[in-house]
Amino acid sequence: MTDTTEKAAVKTTTGAASTAPSPAPAPRGTRVWRGVTPWLFLIAPLALLITFTYAPVANMLAYSLTDWDGVSPELRYIGAENYAEIFTREDLFRVFFVSGYYLVASAVQIVAALYFATILSFNVRFRNFFKGVLFFPYLINGVAIGFVFLYFFQDGGTLDSVLNLFGVESDRAWLGTPVSANTSLAGVSVWRYLGLNFVLFLGAIQSIPGELYEAAELDGANRWHQFRHIIAPGIKPVLTLTVILSISGSLSVFEVPYIMTGGATGTETFVIQTVNLAFRFGKTGLASAAAVVLLLIILLVTWIQRRLVPDDKVDLV
């Protein structure tokens, strides 16, 4: 808050300073030029922003009220029919339940990331090695991850071989039933994204001044107390941000299930369904309505987060 006011103060003084040294008012041409200059810098970014963000959102809202197939030259207005279809047709609605698996996975992921970030911010041998190992999956190409895990869950693949080592005779298709397939895919998502949460938490924990721990230790606090009373409050903003990102992430899962199962055996997610509707079955209108619903849910979640944690870091000005 103080930062912004200071900023404003600086702004006005510099504004005055830039005109002060010139004895006579700047000639008309210069003034016009000065007014145009910022726009010369902004013209390309704004054009791209409007073309690829705002125009699509506006079009999408319009398409969602039609039964357009994406090709025909005429659009027929059908009102809220598409929306009614989404919420009444069970096969369209089902994708929301698939998100449930990813939501549970996110919770597991956040707890695990928190645990590893906490222990690795204290003195541990081979710390940098463990940090690297935990973070690296996040950087790997999604298609490569899809293939690695297709092989992992194959009959006689990695997982079965490991279980055999421990004497567990497993003869099951891990991607064969909706429950086990979705659980497996959600597990892959934890494997892939744990590193990002971990690094975010690590950064937040490291910004907590070290003296706090020393003081707490003198007072006889153990590790759990330190976590509970120093670390947890210290990283609260990052933690809520992560929760929000996880919720919107769970709703917009696409890559790994699409690559691994193509959405078969009940693993179809919201985005896979939308892509299929629009680009495979030519139901652009219905797909747009679905996308609007997803967008609204994500905006709602973000809004709730802003209410819960007033985030003073997001002032762009």
Partner 1 sequence: MTRRTVARALVYLSLIAATVVVLLPLVVVLLTSLKSEREMTRSGGALSLPDNLLNFHNYVSAFRDGEMLSAFANTAVILLVSVGGTVLIGSMTAYAIDRFTFRLRKLVVALFLVAALVPGVTTQVATFQIVNSFGMFDSLWAPIALYMGTDIVSIYIFLQFVRSIPVSLDESARLDGANAFTIYRKIIFPLLKPAIATVVIVKGITVYNDFYIPFLYMPSEDLGVISTSLFRFRGPYAAHWEVISAGAILVILPTLIVFLSLQRFIYNGFMRGATR
Alpha helices for the chain (secondary structure H): 2-19, 28-49, 55-63, 81-88, 90-93, 95-120, 127-135, 142-153, 158-165, 178-206, 211-218, 223-226, 232-234, 236-251, 255-260, 270-279, 284-308
Is the Cβ of residue 101 or residue 285 nearer to partner 1 in the bound state?
Answer: 285
Minimum CB separation of residue 65 from partner 1 in Å reads: 13
Minimum CB separation of residue 136 from partner 1 in Å reads: 6
Which region, judged by CB under 8 A, interacts with partner 1, from 72-80, 167-175, 198-206, 225-233?
Answer: 198-206
Give the one residue of 9, 84, 107, 133 binding partner 1; rule: CB under 8 A. Answer: 133
Q: Shortest CA distance to 121 belongs to which of 238, 192, 223? A: 223
User: Cβ neighbours of residue 253 under 8 Å, at least 6 residues apart?
Assistant: 98, 99, 102, 189, 269, 270, 271
Minimum CB separation of residue 91 from partner 1 in Å reads: 19
Q: Is 162 in the site for partner 1 (CB under 8 A)?
A: yes
Q: Could you count the other beta carbons within 10 Å of the beta carbon of residue 191?
A: 19
Q: Is 32 in the site for partner 1 (CB under 8 A)?
A: no
Q: Is 313 in the site for partner 1 (CB under 8 A)?
A: yes
Q: Is 46 in the site for partner 1 (CB under 8 A)?
A: yes
Spell out, one character per residue from 81 to 120, where the chain touches partner 1: x when CB under 8 A holds, - when not: ----------------------------------xx--xx
Minimum CB separation of residue 248 from partner 1 in Å reads: 6
- Token digits of residue 71: 């090709």
Q: What is d(CA 172, CA 165) in angstroms, rounded to the nearest whole number? A: 16
Site for partner 1 in 218-237 (CB under 8 A): 223
The region that residue 79 occupies, defined by phi over 0 for left and psi between -120 and 50 for alpha, beta otherwise, is left
Q: What is d(CA 214, CA 125) in angstroms, rounded to the nearest whole number? A: 20
Give yes or no for a contact between 290 and 226, defined as CB atoms under 8 angstroms apart. Answer: no
Site for partner 1 in 277-296 (CB under 8 A): 278-279, 284, 287-288, 291-292, 294-295
Which region, judged by CB under 8 A, interacts with partner 1, from 75-83, 90-98, 171-179, 197-205?
Answer: 197-205
Q: Is 63 in the site for partner 1 (CB under 8 A)?
A: yes
Give the one residue of 6, 26, 111, 141 binding partner 1; rule: CB under 8 A. Answer: 141
β-bridge partners, 77: 66
